């Protein structure tokens, strides 16, 4: 009994289809005629209005091996078919229409396409579980209210109206046959043709319903458009395009889920230009090697893959089969530009494995990758070789840019990179995280997380830019810009408004945590695979870090290096404080070229502990690079062997310029010792120069220039002062701005200036003036002031023999002098 109940429940939920019945029946409303012949159903009649043809069915299902044939005139542009009964449509055979008519299938109860389903139509195809189709003239073709007025309209459809309980859409099949030996560099291969649902080239295939699930299903629209929309309720707008329709979801408040599993495929490749794919859902999930693919073989530009999921985009479980990954791939193999991949969601997660990739395998430029995840991007225990966001150039074309914007980026493994393996340049990589970026190691013995721009040929690498409050690089994770051949490595720019922490190594692989720009000799395997020279001629780039707090610990490293004869790049650090501990290093090194330069501009302090190192050493005949450090204090422990070195072998030692108020624990020595040293030596060449000077703070830094016209004096001071009127003298000390002339002076000030003002008047000594004889005088104006023993200001009239003149201003604003008795 319980098994029957479970089976019935699955049927009710639409998750399990009953055996397909040969049922296509008219509901008698618009003159549709159904003529069966075995498993073939010929559909005639209906209602024609202009180039629109309307059909109505009480049920519409096609059995396995059967066919539903719409026998329409070839001048028909659109065939609108609705199902007014209560059963879902189960399609496991062929649907066919004449000419180039577009076909609409409307069934609010649900639509299921089986593994044997197929389309043979010349136009576009739209299957939807909406309640009705709306037209420009106000007519509504409803499947839930068939008693509406006759459907005689020549207008174009403009919208799909969904109710509260729209049915689901499922596409089932045996999965795609696409493989790649290496998702990064190998072309995609097909073993035979792809079976499944397809429309004619340049047309649209659309599924818009409740939940949309592909379970091994394949949808192909060569050089056309594929639309998957999962709508809870509301209206979806339709706008005609050259490919069919453009779908707008502005009228939808809530969405439902879309999933691709069991090697499902969405493909819009073609020789007429790359097509486009758009997915709109609450949650979108790719698993079991499912793929959305566009390959552009033409001279026309390709369209984009656009994913919009209000809650989540997730790359789930992979297939154990090698060469099959969960992927969004948009690439060009012709002369036309590759298309973009655009993802807008709250959360993007790589639960296990997946790839988001644009690339060019021709002379055309590849597309960009744009990710906007309002909450987070997360790689969860992902291997860097199987969880990637990558924009690559493999020939003469340039790779596209990657721009990732989110609140938090958390990567336990994974790879975000823009490499070039050809003559074209790699793209730029920009990551904006408004809260934090955390890079960790994977838990499966794979390398830690990777953020990289790189070149393996003559093309140049792009720039890597990170903007975030907090950046942590741990457990063997790497931020890098590299060249392995003749191209130039890109620049690394990190702006972290709070802190940068780099620490440790991967416990399983031993890989160090790094921020580096380098010119490296590739491994023999890579050299053989890419046919590279064993000599690296490219130039390494620079590393710039702007942050209040920088910490490099436990063997981690910030570096620029060159394994050939060219110069290493430079490292520039602008920070309040830098802390190096337990082997943390900031280095610029070369094998035989000129050493790179290190420039540390610090506001507060540099702390070096436990074998930490700041170095610009050069090997071979190269000269050591220069080190410039400006920091109020530099602190180390003498016995912990933390060093600042600009040494060389056969070349000259570099110069070390240090501006500081105090160095503690470090000492200049001609050669390195087990103690904490500052050295600029050369074994065979000339030693460099170490210059230590006083750290000078700019006294004007942080000051704000005030306006000299805070108020209009003409409105504050009368043009004359009669003897019967009061005047004012104001003394301004260092306590603040003078009071407003309209306000009364307070005698109970919290701060009183009791300084001797004589030095401000140009007097060498304070000599009390001679007072005139006391007598009554009416209307005598004060001509000076003084501060008495109580700290109050007294206005006085004095007579002087010798005058030291101090300029002031009278009531009329005319300069005059006030005399002090000597």
pLDDT value of residue 716: 52
> 516: Cβ–Cβ under 8 A, 6 or more apart, which residues?
478, 479, 480, 481, 482, 543, 557, 558, 559, 560, 561
> 814: Cβ–Cβ under 8 A, 6 or more apart, which residues?
none
* pLDDT tens digit sequence for 2-33: 444 333 333 333 444 444 444 899 999 999 99
pLDDT value of residue 787: 66
Q: Which of 24-38, 334-348, 712-726 has the lowest mean pLDDT?
A: 712-726
R_g (Cα) of the chain, nearest Å: 39
* pLDDT tens digit sequence for 256-294: 999 999 999 999 999 999 999 999 999 999 999 999 999
**Percent of the chain predicted with pLDDT > 70:** 79
DSSP 686-707: ----EEEEE----TTTT--PPP
Residue 821 confidence (pLDDT) above 60: no
How many whole angstroms separate alpha carbon 339 and alpha carbon 358?
A: 8
Residue 449 confidence (pLDDT) above 70: yes
pLDDT value of residue 545: 98
Q: State both tokens at 253.
A: 């408040």
Q: How is residue 639 annotated by DSSP?
A: G
pLDDT value of residue 747: 47
How many whole angstroms separate alpha carbon 782 and alpha carbon 762?
A: 21
pLDDT value of residue 798: 63
How many whole angstroms separate alpha carbon 258 and alpha carbon 282?
A: 8
* pLDDT tens digit sequence for 504-539: 988 777 889 999 999 998 888 777 877 787 888 888
| Distance between start and end Cα atoms, the chain | 120
Q: Of the candidates 178, 180, 183, 179, which has an alpha carbon nearest to the alpha carbon of residue 419?
A: 183
Is there a contact between 440 and 478 (Cβ–Cβ < 8 Å)? no
Per the model's pLDDT, the better-predicted residue between 486 and 650 turns out to be 486
How many whole angstroms separate alpha carbon 339 and alpha carbon 300?
A: 11
* CA angle centred on 295, ends 294 and 298, rounded to 5°: 125
Residue 777 confidence (pLDDT) above 50: no
pLDDT value of residue 765: 43
Reported as a pLDDT band with limits 50, 70 and 90, residue 771 is very low
Q: Of the candidates 171, 205, 404, 200, which has an alpha carbon nearest to the alpha carbon of residue 290?
A: 171
How many whole angstroms separate alpha carbon 411 and alpha carbon 417?
A: 13
Q: What distance lies between CA 581 and its chain's CA centroid?
A: 31
Per the model's pLDDT, the better-predicted residue between 73 and 148 turns out to be 73
Neighbours of 58 (CB within 10 A): 18
Reported as a pLDDT band with limits 50, 70 and 90, residue 707 is low
Torsion from C-alpha of 664, 668, 671, 677, nearest 10 degrees: 20
User: Average per-residue pLDDT in the chain?
Assistant: 85
Sign of CA dihedral 389, 395, 400, 401: positive
Reported as a pLDDT band with limits 50, 70 and 90, residue 93 is very high
Per the model's pLDDT, the better-predicted residue between 729 and 519 turns out to be 519
Q: Which of 410-414, 602-606, 642-646, 808-812 has the lowest mean pLDDT?
A: 808-812
How many whole angstroms separate alpha carbon 694 and alpha carbon 193?
A: 75
Q: How is residue 648 annotated by DSSP?
A: B
Q: Of the candidates 261, 263, 257, 264, which has an alpha carbon nearest to the alpha carbon of residue 280?
A: 257
The phi, psi pair for 716, rounded to 5°, reads -100, -30
Residue 680 confidence (pLDDT) above 70: yes
pLDDT value of residue 735: 47
**Half-sphere CA count of 193, side-chain side, radius 13 A:** 6
600-620 average pLDDT score:
94
Q: State both tokens at 423.
A: 């003559």
How many whole angstroms separate alpha carbon 699 and alpha carbon 174?
A: 75
Please name the helix (run of DSSP H) or strand (run of DSSP E) that holds residue 757, with its range, or none. none
How many whole angstroms separate alpha carbon 186 and alpha carbon 421?
A: 12
Largest CA distance in the chain: 137
The phi, psi pair for 761, rounded to 5°, reads -95, 0
How many whole angstroms separate alpha carbon 134 and alpha carbon 155?
A: 10
Torsion from C-alpha of 54, 60, 64, 69, nearest 10 degrees: -20
Reported as a pLDDT band with limits 50, 70 and 90, residue 780 is low
Paired with 408 in beta bridges are 376, 436
* β-strands 225-241, 244-255 pairing: antiparallel
How many whole angstroms separate alpha carbon 113 and alpha carbon 7?
A: 20
**3-state class of 769 per DSSP?**
coil
331-342 average pLDDT score:
96
Q: 787: buried, middle or exposed (CB in 10 Å: 19+, 13-18, 0-12)?
A: middle
pLDDT value of residue 559: 95
288 conformational bin, left if phi > 0, alpha if psi -120 to 50, beta if neither? left
Reported as a pLDDT band with limits 50, 70 and 90, residue 64 is very high
Residue 87 confidence (pLDDT) above 70: yes
Q: Which of 97-111, 321-335, 678-692 has the highest mean pLDDT?
A: 97-111
96 conformational bin, left if phi > 0, alpha if psi -120 to 50, beta if neither? beta
Q: Which of 350-359, 455-464, 505-514 has the lowest mean pLDDT?
A: 505-514
Q: How many residues does the chain have?
A: 822
Q: How is residue 302 annotated by DSSP?
A: P
**3-state class of 236 per DSSP?**
strand
pLDDT value of residue 596: 87
pLDDT value of residue 112: 98
How many whole angstroms separate alpha carbon 236 and alpha carbon 231?
A: 8
622-632 average pLDDT score:
90
Residue 814 confidence (pLDDT) above 50: no
Only one residue has tokens 């604003």, namely 813
* pLDDT tens digit sequence for 359-378: 999 999 999 999 999 999 99
Is there a contact between 383 and 353 (Cβ–Cβ < 8 Å)? yes
* β-strands 257-261, 212-215 pairing: parallel
pLDDT value of residue 22: 47
Residue 784 confidence (pLDDT) above 60: yes
Per the model's pLDDT, the better-predicted residue between 318 and 225 turns out to be 225
Q: State both tokens at 72.
A: 């329409």
Reported as a pLDDT band with limits 50, 70 and 90, residue 668 is very high
Q: Which of 36-45, 341-350, 565-574, 739-748 has the lowest mean pLDDT?
A: 739-748
pLDDT value of residue 20: 44
How distant, in Å, are the alpha carbons of 646, 648, 748 from that of 617? 5, 6, 66
Per the model's pLDDT, the better-predicted residue between 497 and 137 turns out to be 497
> 67: Cβ–Cβ under 8 A, 6 or more apart, which residues?
39, 40, 41, 93, 94, 95, 96
Only one residue has tokens 């990170």, namely 466
Is there a contact between 666 and 660 (Cβ–Cβ < 8 Å)? no
Reported as a pLDDT band with limits 50, 70 and 90, residue 385 is low
> Number of helices and strands (H, E) in the chain?
3, 62
Q: Strands across the sheet with 32-37, in order?
A: 32-37, 40-45, 67-70, 94-97, 118-120
How many whole angstroms separate alpha carbon 564 and alpha carbon 483?
A: 11
SS3 content of the chain, % helix, strand, coil (to 5): 5, 45, 50
Per the model's pLDDT, the better-predicted residue between 589 and 813 turns out to be 589
Reported as a pLDDT band with limits 50, 70 and 90, residue 325 is confident
Q: State both tokens at 529.
A: 């695979």
pLDDT value of residue 763: 46
* pLDDT tens digit sequence for 739-769: 554 444 454 444 545 555 555 444 444 434 4
pLDDT value of residue 623: 80
Q: How is residue 505 annotated by DSSP?
A: B
């Amino acid at each position: 009994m319980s098994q029957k109940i479970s089976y019935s429940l699955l049927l009710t939920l639409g998750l399990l289809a009953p055996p397909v019945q040969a049922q296509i029946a008219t509901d008698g409303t618009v003159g549709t005629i159904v003529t069966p012949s075995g498993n073939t159903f010929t559909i005639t009649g209906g209602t024609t209005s202009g180039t629109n043809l309307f059909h109505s069915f009480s049920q519409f299902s096609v059995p396995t091996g059967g066919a539903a044939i719409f026998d329409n005139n070839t001048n028909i542009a659109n065939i609108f078919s609705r199902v007014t009964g209560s059963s879902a449509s189960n399609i496991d055979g062929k649907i066919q229409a004449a000419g180039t008519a577009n076909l609409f299938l409307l069934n609010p109860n649900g639509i299921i396409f089986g593994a044997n389903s197929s389309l043979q139509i010349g136009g576009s195809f739209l299957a939807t579980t909406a309640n009705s189709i709306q037209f420009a003239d106000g007519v509504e073709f409803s499947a839930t209210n068939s008693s509406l007025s006759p459907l005689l309209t020549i207008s174009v459809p403009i919208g799909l109206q969904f109710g509260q309980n729209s049915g689901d859409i499922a596409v089932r099949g045996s999965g795609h046959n696409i493989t790649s030996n290496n998702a990064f560099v190998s072309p995609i291969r097909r073993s035979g043709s792809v079976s499944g649902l397809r429309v004619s080239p340049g047309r649209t295939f659309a599924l818009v319903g409740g939940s949309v699930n592909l379970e091994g299903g394949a949808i192909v629209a060569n050089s056309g458009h594929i639309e998957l929309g999962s709508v809870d309720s509301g209206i979806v707008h339709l706008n005609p395009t050259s490919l069919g329709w453009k779908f707008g979801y502005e009228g939808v408040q809530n969405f439902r889920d879309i999933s691709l599993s069991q090697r499902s495929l969405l493909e819009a490749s073609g020789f007429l230009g790359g097509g486009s794919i758009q997915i709109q859902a609450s949650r979108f999930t790719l698993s079991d090697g499912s793929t959305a693919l566009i390959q552009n073989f033409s001279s026309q530009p390709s369209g984009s893959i656009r994913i919009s999921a209000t809650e989540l985009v997730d790359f789930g479980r992979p297939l154990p089969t090698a060469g099959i990954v969960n992927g969004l791939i948009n690439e060009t193999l012709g002369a036309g530009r590759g298309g973009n991949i655009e993802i807008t969601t709250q959360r993007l997660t790589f639960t296990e494995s997946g790839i988001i990739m644009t690339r060019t395998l021709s002379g055309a430029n590849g597309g960009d990758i744009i990710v906007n995840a309002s909450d987070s991007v997360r790689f969860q225990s992902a291997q860097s070789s199987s969880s990637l966001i990558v924009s690559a150039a493999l020939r003469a074309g340039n790779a596209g840019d990657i721009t990732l914007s989110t609140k938090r980026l958390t990567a336990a493994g994974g790879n975000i990179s823009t490499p070039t393996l050809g003559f074209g340049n790699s793209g730029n990589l920009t990551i904006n995280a408004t809260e934090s970026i955390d890079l960790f190691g994977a838990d499966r013995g794979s390398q830690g997380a990777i953020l990289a721009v790189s070149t393996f040929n003559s093309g140049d690498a792009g720039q890597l830019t990170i903007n975030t409050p907090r950046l942590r690089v741990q457990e063997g994770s790497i931020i890098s810009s590299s060249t392995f051949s003749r191209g130039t490595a890109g620049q690394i720019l990190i702006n972290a408004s709070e802190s940068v922490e780099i620490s440790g190594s991967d416990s399983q692989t031993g890989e160090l945590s790094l921020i580096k720009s380098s010119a490296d000799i590739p491994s023999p395997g890579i050299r053989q695979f890419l046919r590279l020279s064993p000599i690296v001629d490219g130039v390494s780039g620079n590393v710039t870090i702007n942050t209040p707090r920088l910490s490099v610990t436990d063997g981690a490293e910030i570096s620029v290096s060159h394994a050939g004869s060219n110069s290493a790049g430079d490292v520039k650090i602008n920070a309040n404080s830098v802390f190096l501990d337990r082997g943390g290093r900031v280095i610029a090194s070369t094998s035989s070229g000129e050493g790179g330069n290190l420039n540390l501009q610090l506001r507060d302090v540099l702390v070096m502990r436990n074998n930490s190192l700041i170095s610009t050493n050069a090997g071979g005949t190269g000269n050591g690079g220069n080190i410039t450090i400006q920091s109020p204090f530099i602190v180390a422990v003498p016995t912990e062997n933390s060093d600042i070195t600009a040494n060389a072998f056969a070349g000259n030692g570099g110069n070390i310029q240090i501006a500081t108020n105090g160095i503690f624990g470090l000492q200049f020595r001609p050669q390195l010792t087990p103690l904490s040293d500052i050295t600029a030596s050369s074994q065979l060449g000339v030693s460099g120069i170490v210059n230590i000077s006083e750290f000078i703070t700019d006294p004007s830094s942080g000051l704000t220039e005030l306006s000299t016209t805070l108020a209009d004096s003409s409105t504050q001071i009368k043009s004359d002062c009669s003897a019967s009127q009061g005047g004012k003298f104001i003394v301004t000390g260092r306590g603040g701005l003078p009071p407003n002339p309209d306000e009364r002076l307070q005698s109970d000030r919290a701060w009183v200036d009791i300084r001797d003002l004589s030095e401000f008047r140009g007097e060498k000594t304070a000599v009390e003036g001679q007072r005139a004889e006391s007598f009554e005088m009416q209307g005598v104006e004060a001509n000076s002031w003084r501060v008495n023993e109580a700290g109050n200001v007294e206005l006085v009239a004095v007579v002087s023999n010798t005058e030291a003149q101090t300029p002031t201003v009278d009531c009329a604003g005319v300069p005059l002098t006030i005399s002090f008795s000597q």
